[in-house]
Amino acid sequence: MRYLINEYVEDFGNAGSKARRDISSILGRNSTTVINLPYDSKKSHISREFETWRTLGRYWNSATFKGQLIVQFPLRLNKLDQFGVLKMIKKFQSKVVIIHDLESLRRGDESLAKSEVKFLNKFNLVISHSSNMTTYLREHGLNTEVRELYLFDYLADQKETGFNQGSPISKKFKVYFAGNLGKSLFLENVPSSLNDILYVFGLNATQKMKRELKHFMGFVDGEQLPDKLKGGWGLVWDGASTMQPTGLLGKYLAYNAPHKTSLYIAASVPVIVWSGAANTRFVTENFLGISVDSLGQIQSKLESLSGDEYSKILLSVAEFSSKLRNGEMILNVLRKEG
């Protein structure tokens, strides 16, 4: 039997909370007992602690411990609740941890890597984002089995449709960007050739973005957003520069698997990724999109695609779209042998 410890994750309309909720939903539908740790903001701190420990106690038995325990990392629990979860982890024969973020990379603070690796080494299997992330963890002492995910699943309301409708040429020249616009300052200085075809969705747009972007579409909830992206391409980029992703955000792209990529592919929209991103090889080898060194290359890259190349990408993206919307990525990596 498989068990998942499911923390309460408030929906802030961002990728991080959706990725966790989707994994809980997918596993819950597929022979996994989801241990929902209770959360009630109206209760006192002590009452919430009592409820959490009582919930864990229901599964504190030898029969349960023969199964497999799955945890999503990093834990968002307070210290006392984490203590209970850590004691429970020790009891299980099979333990799996799914990484969502590494704060040592995201914050650019390698002093955090020691504690991250110490936690991850408690598990028999670590689900990493990419080979780059795995190498980083190995360099900091990770010594357990690792499998790479590369693409997170993305549950959405979108119905199965024919994704190769209309003229491929017209769809070729429409580019979408969706996300937390406050950390995407490159949108303040988009090349004019891209601005003409760029449609931007998200929260926290600066006044300059609202003024300069030709197609600012505002915020759409993550569950409905895939249905708003019709044809075209999805851009995965971060930081302040249009030349290449810069700063901590740019560095993080070299290690992580952005949930934004999954959003686009779930909508059957091929992606445009930075050539230095961790998932570039996965994207190009699976014909899920193209890579560019800078945003200024997008127009010429799209124009250089032949009709056959574009059709091959659309077919592959449609296939992966079905996988992501049905939770197949995490299920496949969990069932994969050795």
- DSSP code per residue over 113-136: HHHHHHHHTTSSEEEES-HHHHHH
Cis peptide before 74 (omega within 30 of 0): yes
The pTM of this model reads 0.91
Name the pLDDT band for 16 (thresholds 50, 70, 90). low
Beta bridge partners of 177: 200
Instruction: Report the side by side order of strands in the sheet with 233-236.
Output: 216-218, 198-203, 175-180, 233-236, 271-274, 289-292
Q: Is the pLDDT of residue 256 over 50?
A: yes
Give CA separation, 274 vs 37, 76, 236, 245, in Å: 38, 30, 7, 8
Look at residue 14 in the predicted model and tell me its pLDDT: 54
Three-state SS at 44 = coil
**Residue 130 structure tokens:** 């990419």
Look at residue 172 in the predicted model and tell me its pLDDT: 53
By C-alpha distance, which of 104, 79, 99 is closest to 20? 99
Look at residue 200 in the predicted model and tell me its pLDDT: 97
Those residues whose C-beta lies under 8 Å from the C-beta of residue 230, and which sit 6 or more positions away, are: none
Beta bridge partners of 198: 175
Percent of the chain with pLDDT over 70: 90
Task: Taking each helix axis as running N to C, give the angle between helix 131-139 and helix 113-120, from 0 to 180 degrees, rounded to the nearest 10.
Answer: 100
Name the pLDDT band for 17 (thresholds 50, 70, 90). confident
**Residue 18 structure tokens:** 């959706």
**Residue 317 structure tokens:** 């993206």
Look at residue 43 in the predicted model and tell me its pLDDT: 57
**Residue 310 structure tokens:** 């574009």
Distance CA 187, CA 179 (A): 11
- Please indicate whether residue 47 or residue 100 has the higher confidence score (pLDDT): 100
pLDDT tens digit sequence for 169-182:
454 579 999 999 99
By C-alpha distance, which of 272, 264, 326, 335 is closest to 300? 272
Look at residue 190 in the predicted model and tell me its pLDDT: 96
Distance CA 235, CA 175 (A): 7
Instruction: For residue 314, give the H/E element and its range.
Output: helix 307-325
